[in-house]
Chains A and B, each alone.
Chain A
Amino acid sequence: MAAEQGKVDPMHQFTIEPLVRWEVAGYDLSFTNSAMWMLVTTLVVALFVAGGLKRQLVPGRWQMAVEVFTGFIDDMLEANIGKEGRKYVPYVFSLFMFILFANLLGLLPLGVVGLHPFTFTSHFTVTGVLALISFSIVLIVGFWKHGFHFFSLFVPHGTPAPMIPIIFLIELFSFLIRPFSLALRLFVAMMAGHVLLKVLSGFVINGANAGIGIGALVSIPSFALMIAISALEILVAGIQAYVFALLTSLYINDAEHLH
């Protein structure tokens, strides 16, 4: 990690290391740190939701916390899709909670005790699969409900006849690019924040190593900035999870209602 000149390598935190090696017919199926943190995230989300399933008439604090999240997703789907949106609550809720908890767990300062959290949402493979699930749901629901009429999504009402081929191509392209933009946004937002934190930590360490004068001049402002950026990262973790769920619900709305 600490390469030459005591530099902190900002990309080291994204390396995937196998914890349990396992190869099947030449394919590497090792249990990696990425997989472990996915498992941890799933467990934490399951525990959090299970704590709120007591169904008391007067909810306690924990049940209230869970109900805030379910109610939030429920309202979002109701506002964007309408009453047909209710049946997507389980999917969008799981998606939102999984991404939110993954982002937040990846920010935990557990490195102090030697346990390095791994933010798996900073990998395009992971966010890409999540985006593909959302996109598949859109395609399946769209073709299931409307059949080939689904293609009218690409030709808005009242398009002049000569414009139809061009508009069709543009709309088709913008439709097909959705899973990429969805996955890219989450992955880059998480990665950029973590790289920024590591670069600042490099400033703090190198400044402190260079002596007390430079240390006070460089390390202390950098450290203050790190704290502020960490607060911003918590905000970004929430916003990105929200945006992912929001855009998924908007895409599902297209599939449910066409235009």
Chain B
Amino acid sequence: MEAEAAKLVGAGLAAIGAGMAAIGVGNVFGSFLESALRNPGAADGQQGRLFIGFAAAELLGLLAFVVAMILIFVA
């Protein structure tokens, strides 16, 4: 395989990471909502933690985007 083609294939494969991060972010908000509906009184106090979990899950998906960008524009 030519190097140029391999780069583009690699960048495309990095999109899998973005999809995985989508599962992660969905999991964070889904679990939060599930438990927030069980105990609405405690939900407001946990919003900070919700966004910390969201930020951590999202960062890993964004890293996949960075990998794709590096493969296309830098490597």
Contact = CB atoms under 8 A, between A and B. Distances in A.
Contacts of B59: 181, 184-185
B2 to A, nearest CB: 21
Contacts of A191: 69
A243 B63 contact: no
B36 interface: no
A20 B73 CA distance: 28
Nearest to B62: A188
Given A11-B73, A80-B48, A184 B55 contact: no
A246 B73 contact: no
Report the contact-size class of chain A (Cβ under 8 Å from the partner).
Answer: 10 to 19
Contact of B58 (A189, A246, A250): A189
Interface string B33-75: 0000000000000001001101100110011011001000100
A225 interface: no
The B contact surface, by secondary structure, is: helix
A48 interface: no
B55 A243 contact: yes
Interface string B13-43: 0000000000000000000000000000000
Report the contact-size class of chain B (Cβ under 8 Å from the partner).
Answer: 10 to 19
B62 A246 contact: no
Given A184-B63, A185-B59, 14 more contacts: A76-B48, A181-B59, A184-B59, A184-B62, A184-B66, A185-B55, A185-B62, A188-B63, A189-B58, A189-B62, A243-B51, A243-B54, A246-B52, A247-B52
17 contacts: A79-B48, A80-B48, A184-B59, A184-B63, A185-B55, A188-B63, A188-B66, A189-B62, A191-B69, A192-B65, A239-B51, A239-B54, A242-B51, A243-B55, A246-B52, A246-B55, A247-B52
Interface of B: 48, 51-52, 54-55, 58-59, 62-63, 65-66, 69, 73
